[in-house]
Amino acid sequence: MAIASRKLNRHLALHLNPTTPAIHHRFSPYPAATSSLTTHHQEVKSLTELEKLHPLGQGSGGAVFKVRHKPTRAIYALKKISAAAETQTQEEEVSIHRIASSSPHVVKFQGSFQTPNGDVSILMDYMESGSLSDHAKATYRDARLPEHAIADVARQILQGFSHLHANNIVHRDVKPANFLVNANNNNEVKIADFGVSKRLPTRLARCDSYVGTAAYLSPERFDMAAHGSTYDGFAADVWSLGLVFLELYLGRYPLLEPGQKPDWPALMCAICFGEMPPKIPEEASEEFREFIGCCLEKDPCKRWTVQQLLGHRFIVRRPQEEEEEEEERTRGDS
């Protein structure tokens, strides 16, 4: 459930009505229409060289398609951002993706193109195995990843977010669908979709636009007064990451009961008033429980940073030790 709202200075319990779109100020328009705005890769010179194969999904602010470069037969993903898109200025999404793309843990930006009507398309690497949630369902029983697999996924994602946050970029729409997997390359996981991301002028700048997916919003984004005097976009990203990692362990969204309707009041109550971290099965390791607790700290000032999480013992454990522990735990369950 994507949302974008202005903050209202009212008590949390009264703010249950559907949200209204936030007003985003557009940057100065592009120069006269051109077929190619920027390219990292000289291989693709214009949109006319691309053959659209089929839709891959809907990203923030635009549809994503699988495309083929006709001269080389190379496969890419192409996101089309309408000139009328309200969620993010076209220029900012292109700029952020280009900067983020210097990390090996971000889907590679290959160029951007503009059509005469003002639509902008972003060309990027195609990730063979789809989203992290799709990969989990296709690969693991009940879509539940073992701890050693979660640690590997988390390590890659946190390294990507370390790069984003070091460049003052907050993602603002962290969820399983926005992590893409390439199973043919050692199950590499990469961050995608910068449609509502923002680059702050300084690390301490306020991030006061309310966008994202409601189920993964942090408590302070629902009620800043009760959960911190300011909305720290970096800490909010960490909260969302904690929910993603726990969802990979449980095979379902962790803050609602199976079958419970994920409407706005239910999500708000679970996130703001629910016990944190939520109940985790007894067989989970102490390291994993502690790691999730560091992410799902309601006070954003006490929540761990991405850099701190990269040093957590759950992440730095040797892969062999993790697999041995997982095998022992599995034998104990049988």
The 3-class SS string of the chain reads CEEEECCCCCCHHHCCCCCCCCCCCCCCCCCCCCCCCEECCCCCCCHHHEEEEEEEEEECCEEEEEEEECCCCCEEEEEEECCCCCCCCHHHHHHHHHHHCCCCCECCEEEEEECCCCCEEEEEECCCCCEHHHHHHHHCHHHCCCHHHHHHHHHHHHHHHHHHHHCCEECCCCCHHHEEEECCCCCEEEECCCCCCEECCCCCCCCCCEEEEHHHCCHHHHCCCCCCCCCCHHHHHHHHHHHHHHHHHHCCCCCCCCCCCCCHHHHHHHHHHCCCCCCCCCCCCHHHHHHHHHHCCCCCCCCCCHHHHHCCHHHHCCHHHHHHHHHHHHHHHC
Per the annotation, the verdict on 173 as an active-site residue is yes
| Residue set of the binding site for ATP | 79
| Residue set of the binding site | 79
Residue among 173, 223, 232, 237 flagged as catalytic: 173
Tell me which residues are annotated as active site: 173
